[in-house]
Amino acid sequence: MARRAHIPGWQALPGVEVAAVCAPDLAAAQSSADAFGIPHVFSDYHALLELELDAVSICAPNSVHVPASLTAIESGKHVLCEKPMAVTAGQVKMLGEKAEAAGLLLMAQHQLRFAAEARAAYALVKTEKLGSVYHAQVRALRRATVPTSVGFIDKALAGGGPALDIGVHSLDIALWLMDFPRPVRVTGTAKTNFAHGDKITGDWGEWARSRFSVEDFAAGFVHFENGSTLALECSWLGHYPERDDLSCRLFGLGGSLHWPTGEFSTTAGKAHSTGTLPLEATDEPAHFAAIRAFYEAIQSGRPSPIPWKETYWTIAIIEALYESAAEGKEVFLRDV
């Protein structure tokens, strides 16, 4: 993500210098520095954070997100952290409160919010044509794509499987479009159905099966304080017709809306109609747009484009889904 999205995303902003890069393997960090013309190279982020920098992007395995974000905040840097910001809602709260107290911005990289499809869906929601949303169907299903890097499949490094890896993206979009109703209770299941066998071959190549210690399928059901509900399904492996399906469908009293296709369906009397939302034309990749929004918020003194309290609820739902799966019971969420 550093090489594909964050470094070029920051470098696309006029007036921004990417001053330093860090990876435990110094040669790997040096190769990124050479490729992108970055002057300072480190193998330890503590040393990098001694530099006078305005902001950092954290693109390391999930287990590094909280300690690196915390150290960055404590050394006075704004933090753009790859998703998931943390594995527990308590960790998100701790980081959010520290950042707020220090007057720093903290944002999870949910770049899909900044893509044209999400913007169009958000604009429709604001017109109230959808009406009050009573249910959301949220999917993050991949048929045969297990990440090959152990950072995603070893529980000690990743914290969780597809729910935490890609479920967070669709869930973030659905909750944002629903205006973040307060979740109150969650049931869930998390299973490893295929990852230790050879029934489904990974499109991205072979993964270290002996290190695979997360789920390859998770599903959950959420009840919100306002009476609405949400069903979430996440997977890296399964017998699905589509190669992948990162989506949500919101059911409202005025119509239903599908992201990212923008399909809006409504029925008045006996007449049913379906249309597709128009999209703004843009050449800017979503990752770049998210980084630009974060940068502009820093420059103008505005709050984080994705407030940590929103990320708190996204992570709280996934944490509760895992807890429910492990303990076989419904989990009630505590307030932030």
Query: Which one of residues 18, 38, 49, 60 is an interface residue with ligand NAD (CB under 6 A)?
Result: 60
CB atoms within 10 A of CB 67: 14
SS3 169: helix
Beta-bridge partners for 55: 78
Rounded to the nearest whole angstrom, what is the least distance from the CB of residue 153 to ligand NAD in the complex?
11
Residue 310 binds to ligand NAD (criterion: CB under 6 A): no
Residue 47 binds to ligand NAD (criterion: CB under 6 A): no
Rounded to the nearest whole angstrom, what is the least distance from the CB of residue 266 to ligand NAD in the complex?
32
Exposure string for 272-301, b = 16+ CB within 10 A, e = fewer: eeeeebeeeeeeebbbbbbbbbbbebbeee
SS3 69: helix
Binding mask 254-283 for ligand NAD (x = CB under 6 A): ------------------------------
Sort 206 into a burial class: Cβ within 10 Å, 0-12 / 13-18 / 19+: exposed
Residue 202 binds to ligand NAD (criterion: CB under 6 A): no
Q: Which stretch binds ligand NAD (CB under 6 A): 20-28, 246-254, 299-307, 322-330?
A: 20-28
Amino acid present at 291: I
Q: Which stretch binds ligand NAD (CB under 6 A): 61-69, 89-97, 241-249, 325-333?
A: 61-69
Q: Which stretch binds ligand NAD (CB under 6 A): 19-27, 96-104, 233-241, 316-324?
A: 19-27
Reply yes or no: is the peptide bond before residue 24 cis, omega within 30 of 0.
no
Compare residues 130 and 246 and give the one whose CB is closer to ligand NAD.
246
User: Is residue 211 left, alpha or beta, with left meaning phi > 0 and alpha meaning psi from -120 to 50?
Assistant: alpha
SS3 72: helix
Residue 22 binds to ligand NAD (criterion: CB under 6 A): yes
**DSSP per-residue string spanning 209-236:** GGG--S-SEEEEEEEETTS-EEEEEEES
Give the torsion sign (CA, 238, 240, 245, 251). negative
Residue 61 binds to ligand NAD (criterion: CB under 6 A): yes
Q: Which stretch binds ligand NAD (CB under 6 A): 54-62, 69-77, 196-204, 312-320?
A: 54-62
Within residues 74-133, the interface with ligand NAD by CB under 6 A covers 82-83, 109, 111
Q: Which stretch binds ligand NAD (CB under 6 A): 53-61, 117-125, 261-269, 328-336?
A: 53-61
- Residues near ligand NAD (CB under 6 A): 1, 22-25, 28, 45, 59-62, 64, 82-83, 109, 111, 149, 151, 165
